[in-house]
Chains A and B, each alone.
Chain A
Amino acid sequence: MAATVKLSQLPVGTSATVRAFPPQGAAYLRLREMGVLPGTPVTLVRTAPLGDPLEIQVRGYSLTLRKTDAEHVLVEPLAAAG
Chain B
Amino acid sequence: MSDPVPEPPRPSAPAGRLPVYALVGNPNCGKSTLFNALTGLKQKVGNYPGVTVERKIGTTYSQHGRPITVIDLPGTYSMAARSPDEAIVRDVLLGRRADTAQPDRIICIVDATNLERNLYLLHQVLDLGRPVILALNMMDLAEASGLNVRVARLEHALGIPVIPCEAVNGRGLLELRLAMSRTDLPLSRHRWDIPPQIAPAVSELQASLVESDGKQPLIARAEALLLITDQDAVRVAGSTPLSPATAAMLAGWKKRWVDLDVDWSGALVNSRYEEIAKLCGEVVLRRAGGGPPVSDRIDRFVLHPVWGWLVLGGIMTLLFLSIFTLAEFPMNWIDGQVAALGAAVKGAMAPGDLRDLVTDGAIAGVGGVVVFLPQILILFFFLGLLESTGYMARAAFIMDRLMSRVGLNGKSFIPLLSSYACAIPGIMATRTIEDSKDRLVTILVAPLMSCSARLPVYLLMIAALLPGERVPVGAKVGLMLLMYTLGTLGAFGFAWLFKRTLLRGAPPLMIMELPPYRLPRLRDVLLHMMERAGLFLRRAGTIILGISIVLWFLTTYPKHGGDATAQEQIAHSFAGTAGRVLEPVIKPLGFDWRVGIGLITSFAAREVFVSSMGVIFGVEDNGSAAATPLRQALRQARWPGGAALFTPLVCLTLMIYYVFAMQCMSTVAVVKRETNSWRWPLFQIAYMTGTAWAVCFVVYQTGRALGF
Contact = CB atoms under 8 A, between A and B. Distances in A.
A53 B401 CA distance: 7
A27 interface: yes
Interface string B29-59: 0000000000000000000000000000000
A35 B117 contact: yes
A61 B401 contact: no
Contacts of B512: 63-64
B530 interface: no
B304 interface: yes
Interface stretch (B76-84, B348-356, B452-460, B569-577): B76-84
Contact of B299 (A26, A34, A46): A46
Contacts of B400: 48, 52-53, 64, 66
Interface string A32-57: 11110110000001101111110100
Contacts of A53: 397, 400-401, 410, 510
Contacts of A24: 231
Contact of A49 (B77, B231, B398, B404): B398
Given A33-B78, A35-B117, A62 B514 contact: yes
B513 interface: yes
Interface in B399-415: 400-402, 404, 410
B510 A65 contact: yes
A23 interface: yes
B306 to A, nearest CB: 8
A22 B309 CA distance: 35
A67 to B, nearest CB: 9
B83 to A, nearest CB: 11
A31 interface: yes
Given A59-B116, A60-B116, A48 B398 contact: yes
Interface string A1-38: 00000000000000000000101101111111111011
A31 B513 CA distance: 11
B278 to A, nearest CB: 14
Given A59-B114, A61-B114, A32 B509 contact: no
Contacts of B231: 24, 26, 29
Contact of A63 (B78, B404, B511, B516): B511
A60 B299 CA distance: 16
A66 B514 CA distance: 14
Q: Interface residue tally of chain B, by bracket?
A: 35 or more
Contact of B114 (A26, A45, A60, A64): A60
A50 B401 contact: yes
A68 B82 CA distance: 19
A52 B510 CA distance: 10
Contacts of B309: 49
Interface string B232-252: 100000000000000000000
A26 B506 contact: yes
Nearest to A53: B510
A51 to B, nearest CB: 7
B511 A55 contact: no
A21 B263 CA distance: 10
A23 B600 CA distance: 56
B159 interface: no
Contact of A51 (B114, B265, B401, B513): B401
Kindly name the residue among A34, A38, A62, A69 whose own CB sees the greatest number of chain B CB atoms within 10 A. Answer: A62
Contacts of A65: 509-511
A26 B82 contact: yes
Given A26-B506, A29-B231, A48 B401 contact: yes
Nearest to B119: A35
Contacts of B116: 35, 59-60
A46 B292 CA distance: 14
Nearest to B299: A46
Interface string B247-283: 0000000000000000101100110010000000000
A27 to B, nearest CB: 5
A34 B398 contact: no
Contacts of B82: 26, 30
B28 to A, nearest CB: 9
A64 B296 contact: no
Nearest to A64: B512
Interface in B483-534: 506-507, 509-516
A60 B511 CA distance: 16
Contacts of B263: 23
Contact of A66 (B306, B393, B402, B510): B510
Nearest to B280: A59
B120 interface: yes
Kindly name the residue among B303, B304, B511 whose own CB sees the greatest number of chain A CB atoms within 10 A. Answer: B511
B27 to A, nearest CB: 11
B308 interface: yes
B305 interface: yes
B507 A68 contact: yes
Nearest to A39: B270
A37 B263 CA distance: 13
B12 interface: no
A8 B592 CA distance: 59
A64 B401 contact: no
Nearest to B28: A61
Contacts of A32: 265-266, 269-270
Contacts of B78: 30, 33
Interface in B518-572: none
Contacts of A59: 114, 116-117
Contact of B273 (A29, A30, A37, A66): A37
A24 to B, nearest CB: 8
A23 B266 contact: yes
Given A48-B303, A51-B401, A30 B114 contact: no
A48 B266 CA distance: 29
Contacts of A68: 507
A47 to B, nearest CB: 9
23 contacts: A26-B232, A26-B509, A27-B511, A31-B511, A35-B120, A45-B296, A46-B299, A48-B398, A48-B401, A50-B402, A52-B400, A55-B397, A60-B114, A61-B117, A62-B295, A62-B516, A63-B512, A63-B513, A63-B514, A64-B397, A64-B512, A64-B514, A66-B404
- For the complex of A and B, the 9 pairs showing the least CB-CB separation, nearest first, are A50-B401, A62-B514, A23-B263, A32-B269, A33-B78, A49-B305, A59-B116, A35-B117, A66-B510
